[in-house]
């Protein structure tokens, strides 16, 4: 096999983020990158195998309409206990309620997106169901906007699936929050 040198940049605070998340959850890297490339990067990020519980690569993605989709059902874990963090929401379109979008990163050394996500992830530790929790987080913080949910595709290839116990939200509370948004903010609710 021919050898190649691969260069990559790490997101600011990536090591701290992975260390902290691994204390709370089983970390599964589900990437649309090919295994031949991603395995080498993961060996650099977790040389002792103490952080990342499992790796899932492009070969496990579904290719459709010109892009890769990460079907979380292949993990064979109750989806109420799985969240996926990714900069490309279209990759978790099959389980959109399990998705936690994060802005794409290119090379800004002052980026704090990963660190900013930690307080929210800490709330998932004692929760029962990720779906209500993620919905409440994005509605409460009003970051459910197109510029965050649908950023341009970037080089953030690490999607962390968090297998944990997560809490269920009150359906009435979610409905009330959704109804509080005006149509000019981009959310349209059923028939009125």
* CATH fold for domain 15-180: Rossmann fold (3.40.50)
Strands 82-86 and 160-163: antiparallel
pLDDT mean over 186-192: 31
84 alpha carbon, distance to own chain's centre: 3
Q: How many CA atoms lie within 13 A of 88 on its CB side?
A: 17
29 alpha carbon, distance to own chain's centre: 10
Measure the CA–CA gap between 40 and 166, rounded to whole angstroms. Answer: 32
For residue 62, pLDDT beyond 90: yes
At 113-153, the pLDDT tens digits run: 999 999 989 988 888 888 767 766 665 554 433 333 333 32
Domain ranges of the chain: 15-180
At 6-45, the pLDDT tens digits run: 678 888 999 999 999 999 999 999 999 999 889 988 999 9
Alpha-helix residue ranges (DSSP H) falling in 35-150: 35-45, 113-124, 130-140, 146-149
Going by C-alpha positions, the residue among 164, 158, 157 that lies closest to residue 129 is 164
């Amino acid at each position: 096999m021919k050898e190649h040198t691969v260069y990559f940049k790490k997101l600011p605070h990536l090591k701290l983020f992975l260390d902290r998340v691994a204390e709370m959850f089983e970390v599964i890297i589900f990437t649309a990158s090919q295994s031949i490339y991603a395995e080498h990067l993961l060996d650099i990020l977790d040389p002792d195998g103490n952080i990342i519980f499992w790796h899932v690569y492009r070969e496990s993605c579904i290719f459709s309409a010109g892009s890769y989709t990460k079907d979380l059902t292949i993990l064979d874990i109750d989806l109420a206990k799985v969240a996926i963090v990714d900069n490309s929401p279209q990759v978790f379109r099959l389980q959109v309620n399990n998705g936690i979008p994060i802005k794409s990163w290119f090379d800004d050394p002052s980026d704090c997106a990963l660190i900013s996500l930690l307080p929210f992830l800490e709330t998932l530790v004692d929760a029962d169901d990720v779906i209500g929790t993620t919905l409440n987080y994005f509605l409460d913080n009003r970051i459910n906007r197109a510029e965050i949910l649908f950023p341009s595709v970037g080089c953030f290839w690490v999607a962390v699936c968090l297998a944990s116990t997560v809490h269920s939200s009150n359906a009435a509370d979610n409905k009330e929050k959704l109804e509080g948004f005006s149509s000019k903010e981009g959310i349209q609710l059923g028939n009125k």
